[in-house]
Chain A
Amino acid sequence: GAGVSQSPSNKVTEKGKDVELRCDPISGHTALYWYRQSLGQGLEFLIYFQGNSAPDKSGLPSDRFSAERTGGSVSTLTIQRTQQEDSAVYLCASSPTGTGSYNEQFFGPGTRLTVL
């Protein structure tokens, strides 16, 4: 079956511009995560969606970052007024359930964002 897909695979933008990154999770997965990986760093948690519950936004680094998940499926991560330090690979992951259980996460290939 289809895995997690992300688009675009690469995005180059100028400082100050807004960008939108898209994630299509595995069908039926209720939990969706966004992470970013900067050069030489681990996976930094950004935001978590579980079903119709309010998202956990505790990892968002600033108010320039926001995300939504429409219809419990597709998610969009938006970065406003991009800065050079936003350059990273943004990874999306989904899992069958999230809360209170241990489930492996299925990751997409990521979007490499470069802010010039």
Chain B
Amino acid sequence: DQQVKQNSPSLSVQEGRISILNCDYTNSMFDYFLWYKKYPAEGPTFLISISSIKDKNEDGRFTVFLNKSAKHLSLHIVPSQPGDSAVYFCAASEWGSYIPTFGRGTSLIVHP
């Protein structure tokens, strides 16, 4: 049973608009969340993270929102750029755990 779910396998957005990638989780013990970006033929690279004590974390064009009651987090990219086209993975960890659980990823395509 998937504990981290990314229900949208793909998302297409126009350049300059907002991209919103969603992630749901089922394990209430998760308290740290990360987003990774992956280009073809490369390994994932860390993008942004958030602790459960916060509901928002912002880094430049990237903002992650966490709704603990709904067990939902989202990644906002504003404005979207063609170079943002990649697969985005959501991951979650429990306190004291060293092994994050990954979702299946969402493929984002940003059209010029």
Contact = CB atoms under 8 A, between A and B. Distances in A.
Contacts of A99: 96, 98
Nearest to A35: B102
A100 B43 contact: no
A21 to B, nearest CB: 13
A75 interface: no
Nearest to A4: B43
Judged by DSSP, the binding face of A is: loop
Contact of B98 (A31, A43, A108, A110): A31
A45 B9 CA distance: 20
B99 interface: yes
Interface residues of B, number: 27
A104 B43 contact: no
A82 interface: no
Contact of B43 (A31, A56, A93, A102): A93
B42 A109 contact: yes
Interface of B: 2, 4, 6, 9, 32, 34, 36, 41-46, 49, 51, 89, 91, 93, 96, 98-105
7 contacts: A31-B98, A48-B98, A59-B99, A91-B43, A91-B44, A105-B46, A110-B43
